[in-house]
Amino acid sequence: MAILRAEFPSRASKKVMGPLIEADEELARRSKRGDREAFEELVRRTSRGLFAKIYLETGDSHRAEDIAQEAYLLAWRSIGSLSDPKAFRGWLFSIGHSALLQSIRREARSKLSNGDAAMSAVADSRPEPRESAASRERRQAVLSLLRSMPKEYRLPLTMRYLAGADYEAISKELAISNGSLRGLLGRGMAMLRAEMKRLNIE
């Protein structure tokens, strides 16, 4: 069993991750040289992860999408400042984060100029159409649960539920090896279920 468990990840990583990471790095390098297609490919590979991450922070899918788009624009414009193509994802996420912060600031400014009180929460409280108040409440509860989870579990779960990604997509976007993702997903889901049960979230 131990042998088996040891074998799977290694095999999977060789088959799936190796070329992928190299390709990521290569794509980033090409983008840096101004290759639009390469960047588009990078966008395809990373957009859901970024979205999920931003959504987790904002709790508003439209806004998250806007911010993600903004982030990609920013990323493309400042791709020159990417020093290590291997670290493209981390760099992208940090850009996403700063795009989010910018967006929050902008919102705060516009709110101030509209005479509203200062922004108190990151989450958007606007009611979304086509959904009930109950499901919205539950979603917020789950989101706050997710936010409170350790980062290594949070990201795959976010990918899974918020971005609707399947196993392969998660592994691709987060660039996590097959074996470790299995453990992370399994334990994360179990943790989430337990928490939901404990907090009585239906």
Partner 1 sequence: MTSETSQHDWFAERIATYLTDGMSGEERSEFESHAAGCADCAGKLAWAKGEDESLRELFAEIAPSAGFEDRVIQRLRRSGWKMPGLMGSIRLRPAVVKAATAAAAIVLVGGLGYWTVQVMQERRVAGAGQTIEPPMMAWADVPPPVAQRTATTLSYSYASPNSNRTQLGSGYRMVTGLEPTFAVAADINPGEQHEKEGQNVLPGDNLRVTRSSIAAGSPLAENKDLDGMASESTPAPTAAYSYDSELKAPAPGAANSYQPADVLASKSVGDLQSVPQQTAASPSPTNAPVSRQGGLFGVTGGFGGAGAGGGGGGGNGNAEANQTAQPESGRKIIRNGEMSFEVDSFDSAFVQISKIAAEEGGFVSDTDSNKLDNGKMSGAVTVRVPPEHLDTLVLKLRALGDLKAQQITSEDITRQYTDLQSELRAAQAMEDRLLEIIKTSKGTVRELLAAEDQVGVWREKVEQVTGQINYFNNQVSLSTLRISLMERDFRQAALASEQEVVDMGIETADVEKARDQAMAALDGVKARIVHAELKKLDAGQFQATIMADVSPDAAGPIIDQLRSLGRVARMNINRQQTLPRGTTAVPGLKVERLDTQLVISIYNLANVAARQTSSVSMACPDVETAYHAILSAVTDAGGRVVNSSLNRIKPEQADASLNFDVPREKAGALLAQIRELGEVMQLAVTENPDAENVTDAKQAFDLTLASAAAVAPRESSQITLMPAQSVAKAYQAMLTLVRKDQGNMTTAQLQEEPGGSDSATLAFDVGRQHQGEIEQAIVDAVGDGGRIISRTSSRSTDTEHTLDSKVGYCLTLASADALQPREVTARTIAVADVSGAYGRVLAVAQQAGAKIAAANLDQSNPSSPSGQLDLVFTAAAKEKVEAAIQDSGGGTISKSIARSADMNATTDEKSELRLTIQDLNDLPARQTTTMNVQVSDPQTAMGDLQAAALAAGGRVVEQHLVKNDKYEGHLVVVVPLSKGADFVNQVRDSGTVQTVESTEDLSVPAADFAEAKLDVTLAAGSGIVGPDAGLWQGLKNGLSASVHGLAYSLELVTIGLCLILPWAGLGWVGWKIWRRFRGRVAGGA
**Contact flags string 83-122 toward partner 1, x per CB under 8 A:** -----------------------xx-xx------------
Separation in Å, CA 63 to CA 13, 96, 186: 35, 12, 30
Burial of 197 (0-12, 13-18, 19+ CB in 10 A): exposed
Amino acid at 30: R
**Closest to partner 1 by CB, 39 or 91:** 39
- What's the alpha-carbon Rg for the chain, to the nearest Å? 19
What is the footprint of partner 1 within residues 163-202 (CB under 8 A)? 163-164, 166-168, 170-171, 178, 181-183, 185-186, 188-190, 192-193, 196
Residue of the chain from 17, 24, 53, 55 that contacts partner 1 (CB under 8 A): 55
**Closest to partner 1 by CB, 86 or 187:** 187
Residue of the chain from 28, 43, 95, 100 that contacts partner 1 (CB under 8 A): 43
If binding is defined by CB under 8 A, does position 18 make contact with partner 1? no
If binding is defined by CB under 8 A, does position 124 make contact with partner 1? no
Can you give the binding site for partner 1, defined by CB under 8 A? 1, 32, 34, 36, 39-40, 43-44, 47-48, 51, 55, 61, 64-65, 68-70, 72-73, 76-80, 106-107, 109-110, 128, 130-131, 135, 138-139, 142, 160-164, 166-168, 170-171, 178, 181-183, 185-186, 188-190, 192-193, 196
